[in-house]
Amino acid sequence: MPIVPVGSLGRIVRAYKSAVTRMAYRDGLLPHGTPVWQRNYWDRVIRDDGEYESAVRRTKYIRDNPMNWKGIGSTNGNHAGRS
């Protein structure tokens, strides 16, 4: 495992993932050894207002998209635009 500098984003993410995984195993939410996290992650630095606005639009889409589904809360599985 590569050395990750103290205080770096990678070290913070690794510590968080480790703590959450230990708690999930300890509390019996998952059997020991069950994979919990996707390997690796990619971060993106927002460099200007345009990138920030784009990130806000994507976040809003992800948050609001389920509300666009037809029959939310039902078990019919139909979504808007489908019959």
Specify the 3-state DSSP secondary structure of 30. coil
pTM of the model: 0.46
Q: Are 9 and 18 in contact (CB under 8 A)?
A: no
Helices and strands (H and E) in the chain: how many? 2, 0
> What's the confidence (pLDDT) of residue 83?
43
What values do phi and psi take at 40, rounded to 5?
A: 65, 175
Over the stretch 2-39, which tens digit does the pLDDT of each residue have? Answer: 687 888 888 898 899 999 999 999 999 999 999 988 87
Domain ranges within the chain, ordered by starting residue = 9-68
Give the integer Cα–Cα distance in Å for 67 and 73.
10
Q: Binning pLDDT at 50, 70 and 90, where does residue 41 land?
A: low
Return the residue matching tokens 């968080």. Answer: 16
